[in-house]
Amino acid sequence: MKTEQQYIDLFTQYEDLICKNSSPVMNAPRAEAFAAFERNGFPSLKSEDYKYTDVQKAFAPDYGLNLNRLYIPVNPYDVFRCDVPNLSTSLYFMVNDIFYDKALPKGHLPEGVYAGSLKVFTERYPQIAAQYYAHAALPDANDPIVPLNTMLAQDGFVLYVPKNIAVERTIQLVNIFRGDKDMMANRRILVIIEPGATARMLVCDHSIDDVKFLGTQVVEAFIGEGASFDYYDLEESNSSTMRFSSFFLKQAANTNVVVNGITLTNGLSCNNYYVSLDGENGEISLCGMSVLDKEQHLDTHTLIQHHVPHCKSNELFKYVLNDRAIGAFSGRIWVKEGADKTEAYQTNRNLCATRETRMYSKPQLEIYADDVKCSHGMTTGQLDENAMFYMRSRGIPPEEARMLLSVAFTSDVIEHIRIPALKDRLHNLVEKRFRGELAKCEGCRICK
């Protein structure tokens, strides 16, 4: 049987139930998405973009779905204590794909700002929501996850910041995978930053049970003219968690955006980033870093589209691979005819520590304008022997020296983060990750 069939059957059988537990705005694009999914299905290993990640295999097992939106007994505050020292955030939780509304932060947000359940938001403000929902991640997008997610997603998180409002406090969203049997979660995040507004968002992924989790996530971010937005994504799940995430970013004129994706622990992740620079003088810094060992697998695709002149994009991705880890990076910069004075830079650097690691890299440029400055660079190798020798000659043990050099290698991705406290915390986390100590955090269940 085809892998797609069980999802087609599921949707045909439970469409009413899915719709009942969602909102009209989210239900509107479902039919189109279903048609696209039926048409395209999952990509095979022969597909150029999914050569290194077996999507069909990931989706083949029978996962449970919480279509009835049953309450999952978990108190996130009990399980989550990994907060960032010296950084007070507005903290929100999602358990699988349900927004956790039992404990909401109070009084932190400026007036008019909405952070919370996507289902509630789309019911309360259908006009605003309908203008944005599924407008960047089109239901029939050329991405295998979007149609599936659009037809199954029932809830998610939304951040809405009205005109000229600056949200000082970082919005932190903690996603927790929780389940007693193999679970699938379809999560949706919508970010609307109106002209002149500013916001920062930190999203963390955690898994607290040892059953298999399969998450699909579609993030749509719309950044209005003159707005500024930071999005930090930290994956700290476990080896039985698979995540397929597609991030869509649309930037108007004079916007400044930082997107940073860090993968420390996971099973299999496939992160797709689609950035569309639609207004002049838009600036995007898209970074990513990952520390992979054992059987971890990370496949990153990026597409930055320069539609208009005078935009700037800067892309930096770094991988550190150990044991039998597999890393894949495929980046593409696309410059439209007439998008002159574009500056686009792309860098991918990788460290491989053992024979069994695999690194596949494909940095691409597709340029149809002539007055541009574009470049990409890619290196794969191991730690510099001279540097290692230098450290060892000063009495630093080889393990320690290797760790220090690896930390230094990844630190420039963390340097792109614009929240100092988070930067410190991540430096710390990465160091701990290299020491293999991440699983020994004090107290909380995630880091037991």
Partner 1 sequence: MQDSNNILKEVTAGEYKYGFVSNIETETIHRGLDEETVRIISAKKNEPEWLLEFRLKAYRHWLTMEQPDWAHLNIPPIDYQDIIYYAAPKAKDKPKSLDEVDPELLKTFDKLGIPLEEQKVLSGMAVDAVMDSVSVKTTFKESLAEKGIIFCSFSEAVQHYPDLVQKYLGKVVNYRDNFFAALNSAVFSDGSFVYIPKGVRCPMELSTYFRINTANTGQFERTLIVADDDAYVSYLEGCTAPMRDDNQLHAAIVEIIANERAEVKYSTVQNWYPGDKNGKGGIYNFVTKRGLCKGDHSKISWTQVETGSAITWKYPSCILAGDNSVGEFYSVAVTNNYQQADTGTKMIHIGRNTRSTIVSKGISAGHSQNSYRGLVKISPQAEGARNHSQCDSLLLSQTCGAHTFPYTDIQNETAVIEHEATTSKISEEQLFYCQQRGISTEEAVGLIVNGYAREVMNKLPMEFAVEAQKLLNISLEGSVG
Contact residues toward partner 1 (CB under 8 A) are 48, 337-338, 340, 350, 352-355, 357-382
Dihedral over Cα of 256, 347, 137, 76: its sign: negative
Please name the residue that has the structure tokens 């990844």: 410
Q: Which is nearer to partner 1, 51 or 427 (CB)?
A: 51
Contact call for residues 362 and 389 (beta carbons, < 8 A): no
Closer to partner 1 at the Cβ: 114 or 345? 345
**Least distance from partner 1 to the Cβ atom of residue 321, Å:** 8
For residues 156 and 363, which CB has a smaller minimum distance to partner 1 in the complex? Answer: 363
To the nearest whole angstrom, how small is the minimum distance from the Cβ of residue 299 to partner 1? 14
Taking the least distance from each CB to partner 1, the nearer of 323 and 437 is 323
- Least Cα distance to 285 among 260, 264, 310 occurs for 260
CA distance 163 to 226: 10
Q: Which is nearer to partner 1, 66 or 361 (CB)?
A: 361
Please state the closest distance from residue 378 (CB atom) to partner 1, in A. Answer: 4
The dihedral through the CA atoms of 214, 97, 228, 412 has a sign that is negative
Least Å from the CB of residue 54 to partner 1: 17
Considering beta carbons, is residue 159 or 344 the nearer one to partner 1? 344
Contact assessment for residue 149 and residue 184, using Cβ atoms and an 8 Å cutoff: no
Shortest distance (Å) from residue 49 CB to partner 1: 12
**Nearest in space to 264 (alpha carbons), one of 346, 208, 214, 325:** 325
In the complex with partner 1, which residue's Cβ is closer, 178 or 297? Answer: 297
| Beta bridge pairs of residue 207 | 177
Q: How far is the CB of 267 from partner 1 (least distance, A)?
A: 21
* Amino acid making up residue 5: Q
**Nearest distance from C-beta of residue 371 to partner 1, angstroms:** 6
311: which 2 tokens?
Answer: 């935009």
- Phi then psi dihedrals of residue 245, to 5 deg: -120, 135
Among the listed residues 30, 28, 29, 24, the one whose alpha carbon sits nearest the alpha carbon of residue 10:
30
Provide the pairing of β-strand 170-177 with 156-161: unpaired
Q: How far is the CB of 436 from partner 1 (least distance, A)?
A: 19
For partner 1, give the closer residue by CB, 69 or 358: 358
The CB-of-364 to partner 1 minimum distance in angstroms stands at: 5
Q: How many CB atoms lie within 10 A of CB 424?
A: 16
Q: What minimum distance in Å lies between the beta carbon of 323 and partner 1?
A: 11
Nearer to partner 1, 169 or 376 (CB): 376
Cβ closest to partner 1, residue 159 vs residue 352 = 352
Give whichever of 33 and 339 is closer to partner 1, judged by the CB atom: 339
Q: How far is the CB of 354 from partner 1 (least distance, A)?
A: 6
